[in-house]
Copies of this chain bind each other. A is one copy, B any other.
Amino acid sequence: MHQRTVFFISDGTGITAETFGNAILAQFELKARHVRLPFVDTADKAYQAVRQINHTGVVDGNKPIVFTTLVNMEVLKVIQEGCQGMLLDMFGMFVNPLENELQIKSHHRIGRFSDASKSKEYQDRIEAINFSLAHDDGQSNRDLEQSDVILVGVSRSGKTPTSLYLAMQYGLKASNYPLIPEDFERRQLPPALVPHKAKIFGLTIQPERLSEIRNERRPNSKYASIENCRMEVSEAEAMMRRTGIRWLSTTTKSIEEISTTILQEIHPERLMY
C-alpha cells in the first residue's frame, strides 16, 4: 500500500489547522503520517514547504493532503501556485462567504494565539490554571468563593484532569474536592463547600472501573479493592442525590465531554458573552 502524508501548514502555531484537520480525517479509515509546519510566515518558508510537500508526494507515490490556516496572502499564494498536494485552504473556504454576509473585510491578522500573552483573556487563563492547581484535591479553601466551578467526587473519579481542562480551555477557575469517609459519616458535603452549592458539580464512576484505576496506583490495597470502591461510590452517589447537586458518571466519557456537560449545567458567569 502507498503511504499517505497529511501536512498542516500555518503562519501561527498550526494548532487550529491540526485540531480541525484531525476531526475531518477521523471520518475516514486512513492511516496517514502527519507533518506539522508551524510559523510559515514568509515567502521563503513557503517555498521550502512546497519543496517538502512535492518531494513527499513523489516518495509516497500519493498526493499529500495539505490543510492550511494561512492569513498571509503572500505565503498562501506561493503554496497555491507551487504545491502538488491536495490543498484544503480552511480559512479561504469560510472567510469570503463571511465577508459577503457581514459586509466587512477580514483583516488577515495572524494566529489567534499571537500577541495573546498581552491580552486580558490570556492573563485570565493563566490565572485560572494557577487557581485550579492551588485548589486541586481540596488543598486550599482560600478564595474558594472565586471558583467558577467546584467539582466533587471520590478519589480518581476524574476531577483533576477535568478541572485543569476547564481552566486551560475556558479560563475557568475550577476547584475540586474529594469526598472522603468523614463526609460519608457526616452524610453532608464538606462544610467549606456548602455556601457555594450553585457552583458544585459531582463526578461519579463505575466501581469496577474505579477499582482498575486505583489498582494501577496502589495494587492490592484496600483503597483499590472492589468492595471499598463499591462502598465509596454508593455513598458518594447517595450524597449527591440527597444534597440535590448535579452530577454525571465519567466512566465512558472523555474530559472534553465531561467539561461540555458541566458548562451546560453550571452556566458560569465568566462565559456569558
* Given A26-B109, A254-B117, A88 and B97 contact (CB-CB distance below 8 Å): yes
Residues of B near A104 (CB, < 8 A) are 28-30
Question: Which chain B positions have C-beta within 8 A of A107?
Answer: 27-29
- Name the interface residues of A146-170: CB closer than 8 Å to any CB of B: 160-161, 164-165, 168-169
Are B106 and A27 in contact (CB-based, < 8 A)?
Answer: yes
Q: How many copies does the complex hold?
A: 2
On whether the beta carbons of B256 and A15 are closer than 8 Å, the reply is yes
Q: If A16-B19, A164-B164 touch, does A95 touch B256 (CB 8 Å cutoff)?
A: no
Question: Measured between C-beta atoms, what is the minimum distance from A26 to chain B in Å?
Answer: 5
Nearest residue in B to A161 (C-beta to C-beta)?
B129
What are the residues of chain B within 8 A of A36 when measuring CB–CB? 260, 263
Q: Does A116 contact B (CB under 8 A)?
A: yes
4 closest cross-chain pairs (CB), A and B: A27-B106, A116-B254, A113-B256, A13-B260
A binding-site residues for B, Cβ under 8 Å: 4, 12-16, 19-20, 22-24, 26-30, 33-34, 36, 38-39, 63, 65, 69, 71, 86, 88, 90-91, 93-95, 97-98, 101-102, 104, 106-109, 111-118, 122, 126, 129-130, 133, 136, 160-161, 164-165, 168-169, 250-257, 259-261, 263-264, 273
Interchain residue pairs with CB less than 8 A apart (7):
A13-B256, A16-B23, A19-B19, A34-B273, A36-B263, A164-B164, A168-B168
